[in-house]
Chains A and B, each alone.
Chain A
């Protein structure tokens, strides 16, 4: 039977929400790992029952959990994330140099083809890979050592590598993004990397208008059928690249603000994209107290608010960067979670919304698996 499994990471545990293809009635399982921050959990495209979760705690550090049965049971696997070679320094908040220190895993991206291979984006920003189901982790040091790592700097939430996109048409191509370093691309399966930030403006953060790194990229997304076309929500502006990140241009158009965190693409319409505008970097809530998803069906610039079923007054939640996902059912489902603990679902491409749950801990991440 077709259905969906929504994987929700929260500040105090993980929850797994399941439904049939109608997406009207939901089962809620959890909390798993109660009391721990679950920055992210994600399933393997090659084996949907293989899940990985990043479990962290200010007290007890980083744990990686793995499930082989779709999240019913879990086992802790390897959690040693040792930087390769000299760790060096990056820019600190005050502009001085600061040593690289591992803090946590922000994002786990399982391989498209091998359930035992998974990438981890970590804070302080670096990329790790496991090829043994998470038992051991090895850094891909070419990213941190691309030449300008000393100019990377932490955003308010830390210097995390938060986005990993694996090109389904080219196994050697990987995109990643870091706050606040920018977007990077590898064309040799992660051995070497280059910044892809031309066209990004960060005039209040970087005096050099052509700065190669240091940009606060919040999220990038692509449609799997067209991985050379990238969409970006940056600290300021929504942007697009039609040449694999070589050049970006603004597509913010008529959005009510230029700030926000997530961005995602419709499963069947590569030019239909979604963002959730947030008022500003200091006011992390929607403008006018109205929670609105904005959809563009033209690949940007022309945006329409989607409000049916979403609170349109007194709403002051945030939607974090890893908290939006889409399913691939015929009528594309869109999902997002809030720092107020709601997970909203739309089974009609965003035209109408319903909360699956109202009162979870603050949501840190949302991923969706479409089950056949």
Chain B
């Protein structure tokens, strides 16, 4: 079980709480976690990463275990505490006004 936290606007869009739990088949990577997230919440497609290029949106970051993982390769294994479910994978919206 992988735990993922979502920023407020995406919680509203997906009609869910801040933290969601996902069954992720195979190795836990950014790609496999986001694939599982979007499969369960299709309305989140395109809001975290581009639907064609799979590039992370510029104002979105991925944190876990007190580390910014945003620039890690999307197929790199996530830290063990994320893979084991003891720590969440945080999807963060940039702190910016507008």
Contact = CB atoms under 8 A, between A and B. Distances in A.
B43 A57 contact: no
Interface string B3-14: 000010110110
Contact of A79 (B10, B45, B48, B94): B45
A302 to B, nearest CB: 43
Given A35-B9, A76-B13, A80-B51, A59 B60 contact: yes
Given A57-B9, A58-B59, A63 B47 contact: yes
B10 A60 contact: yes
Interface in A29-46: 34-36
Contacts of A61: 46-47, 50, 57
Contacts of A34: 12
Contacts of B52: 80, 82
B41 to A, nearest CB: 10
A62 interface: yes
B93 interface: yes
Contacts of B10: 60
Nearest to B98: A58
Contacts of A76: 13, 43
Interface in B28-78: 43, 45-48, 50-52, 57, 59-60
A216 to B, nearest CB: 25
A61 to B, nearest CB: 5
Contacts of B57: 59-61
A60 B98 contact: no
A60 B48 CA distance: 6
A35 B50 CA distance: 21
Contacts of B98: 58
A62 B52 CA distance: 13
Prevailing SS type, chain B contact patch: loop
Contacts of B9: 35-36, 57, 59-60
Contacts of B12: 34
A73 to B, nearest CB: 11
Most buried by B among A34, A36, A63: A63
Nearest to A60: B47
Interface in B70-90: none
A17 B47 CA distance: 29
A36 B13 CA distance: 11
Most buried by B among A57, A59, A61, A76: A59
Contacts of A62: 46
B43 A63 contact: yes
Given A36-B9, A80-B51, A82-B51, A60 B43 contact: no
A62 to B, nearest CB: 7
A63 B12 CA distance: 12
A70 to B, nearest CB: 20
Given A58-B98, A79-B46, A63 B59 contact: no
Given A35-B9, A80-B51, A60 B93 contact: yes
A61 B96 CA distance: 15
Most buried by A among B12, B43, B93: B43
Interface string A73-97: 0001001101000000000000000
Interface in A14-54: 34-36
Contacts of A58: 59, 96, 98
A80 B10 CA distance: 17
Contacts of A59: 7, 9, 57, 59-60, 93-94, 96
5 contacts: A60-B57, A61-B50, A61-B57, A79-B46, A80-B46
4 cross-chain pairs, A with B, having the tightest CB-CB distances, nearest first? A76-B43, A60-B47, A59-B59, A59-B93
Given A35-B9, A60-B47, A80-B45, 6 more contacts: A59-B9, A60-B48, A60-B60, A63-B47, A80-B51, A82-B51
